[in-house]
Amino acid sequence: MTLSTDGRTPGAGAERRVSVLTADRMCASCGYNLVGQMVVREPHYGMLIVRCPECAAVASVQEYPLLGRWAGRWGAILAALWFIFLVAMWPLTSAIVFGWTATTSEEAARGYGQYLRTHHREDMQRERDDAIAKKATETGAAEAATPIDPVQAQAAQMLASIGSNNSATRRAIGQVLGVTVNDDFPSWWATQDGDALLAEAGGWSEMVNRRAFWIWVPAALTVFCVGWFWSLALLRLRRRWALAWGVAIMALAAVFSGALYMDWMDDDPGWYWHVSQRFIAPRVALMTYVFCAFPLAAGLLFGRPVTRFFIRALLPPSLRGALAYVWTAEGLELPPDRRR
């Protein structure tokens, strides 16, 4: 406890004012915060006391260092652990923002991925049908000249009765006729103009899976809680500096996105969804980062008032003393018990 003497000495037999209480201390009777009250030495026992201005109850401020040197040692250890915890929480909270961003971006790209998948299969089926028809024509001409394998002849005759959607049957017939089509997606994509194909599909705005933006709802709640946590963890900071810390969180989350962005931009198409993410995900990621900045800022700005509201709503005045720092750190007074 910090005491600052004022140098005044009243007359003998009266309470002598010694100092001013500069730390938080709750009145045991009414719960009023006694910070700023005069510390006096009462004349009978010579004890240091503080009188509550609300209920006039007397509180003793005499304290003894019962733990000796270990009090300072344990304090230093706890301070170091708290510092390490805060340092570790910075990348962790940035990873939370990054996780919601990556999830939303990749989910938004599924619509275009499905379009590419369907378009690729239709092209491969059309190419296979053309090759089978050509092979069937050649087989029919050969059959008129010389006998051929009856299995191939039967397969050629089955083509007339097969619907256009029976791709599996057509593939099996193609194997019988000796027709092979390279339906590998990377090979097909190498022959396509990605920008033209996206425009043909309706453009970027049409191909975004808008259902992915429902992910923003739990993301906003989570990111608000992240800001709420940091508003209390950095209670000594003014709110504008707390917002600067929010910028640091978002900046580290953007650094995490760098590796994912390079994967999206990889020249190797790999699969449908990978190509779709290249065109859709980066823009959705940027939109998600901008969106998450608002609940993060709200948590940093309003986390402390929300905490004080819940303390007043859930705790009686006699139990608020341990959390008085939530008020005094910003120069506010702990609210008195209105029922008294």
Span 55-81, pLDDT tens digits: 878 877 765 555 556 667 787 888 899
DSSP state of 212: G
CA distance 338 to 340: 5
CA distance 147 to 274: 49
- The token pair at 63 is 């304290």
What is the average pLDDT value for the chain, to the nearest integer?
A: 76
With respect to residue 220, please indicate whether it lies within any of the assigned structural domains. Answer: yes
Say if residue 150 is in the same domain as residue 28. Answer: no
CA distance 117 to 111: 10
Whether the pLDDT of residue 131 is over 60: the answer is yes
Say if residue 238 is in the same domain as residue 295. Answer: yes
With respect to residue 75, please indicate whether it lies within any of the assigned structural domains. Answer: no
Question: What's the rounded mean pLDDT across residues 151-161?
Answer: 51
Say if residue 103 is in the same domain as residue 126. Answer: no
- What is the span of the domain harbouring residue 146? 120-195
DSSP state of 314: H
In this prediction, residue 98 has a pLDDT band, given cuts at 50, 70 and 90, of very high
Say if residue 184 is in the same domain as residue 240. Answer: no
- Contact between 96 and 222 under an 8 Å Cβ cutoff? The reply is yes
CA distance 232 to 84: 16
Give me the pLDDT at residue 172, please: 58
CA distance 34 to 17: 15
Residue that finishes a domain, picked among 151, 174, 195: 195
With respect to residue 166, please indicate whether it lies within any of the assigned structural domains. Answer: yes
Residue that finishes a domain, picked among 133, 164, 195: 195
Whether the pLDDT of residue 8 is over 50: the answer is no
State the DSSP H helix or E strand holding residue 19, giving kind and residue range, or none if neither.
strand 16-21
Least confident of 82-86, 130-134, 150-154, 220-224: 150-154
Say if residue 97 is in the same domain as residue 158. Answer: no
Say if residue 181 is in the same domain as residue 215. Answer: no
Say if residue 104 is in the same domain as residue 251. Answer: yes
Write the pLDDT tens digit of every residue in 214-265.
999 999 999 999 999 999 998 888 878 889 999 999 999 999 988 878 777 7
DSSP state of 237: S
CA distance 311 to 331: 17
Least confident of 42-46, 138-142, 197-201, 218-222: 138-142
Q: How many CB atoms lie within 10 A of CB 200?
A: 11
Say if residue 105 is in the same domain as residue 124. Answer: no
Residue that finishes a domain, picked among 195, 216, 243: 195
DSSP state of 33: B
Question: What's the rounded mean pLDDT across residues 91-113?
Answer: 90
CA distance 9 to 14: 10
CA distance 126 to 271: 20
Give me the pLDDT at residue 151, please: 52
> Which residue would you say has higher pLDDT here, 139 or 96?
96
- The token pair at 156 is 């050629």
Say if residue 27 is in the same domain as residue 127. Answer: no
Give me the pLDDT at residue 89, please: 93
With respect to residue 141, please indicate whether it lies within any of the assigned structural domains. Answer: yes
- The token pair at 14 is 């009266």
With respect to residue 200, please indicate whether it lies within any of the assigned structural domains. Answer: no
With respect to residue 159, please indicate whether it lies within any of the assigned structural domains. Answer: yes
* Helix 272-314 vs helix 216-233: crossing angle, to nearest 10: 50
Q: In which residue are the tokens 């009250």 written? A: 37
The number of domains in the chain is 3
Say if residue 135 is in the same domain as residue 100. Answer: no
With respect to residue 191, please indicate whether it lies within any of the assigned structural domains. Answer: yes
Tell me the Ramachandran region of residue 37: left when phi exceeds 0, alpha when psi lies from -120 to 50, beta otherwise: beta
Sign of CA dihedral 339, 228, 34, 331: negative
Give me the pLDDT at residue 158, please: 54
Say if residue 141 is in the same domain as residue 223. Answer: no
Laid out side by side, the sheet with 38-41 consists of 3-5, 16-21, 38-41, 48-51, 58-60
With respect to residue 263, please indicate whether it lies within any of the assigned structural domains. Answer: yes
Whether the pLDDT of residue 19 is over 60: the answer is yes
Say if residue 315 is in the same domain as residue 182. Answer: no
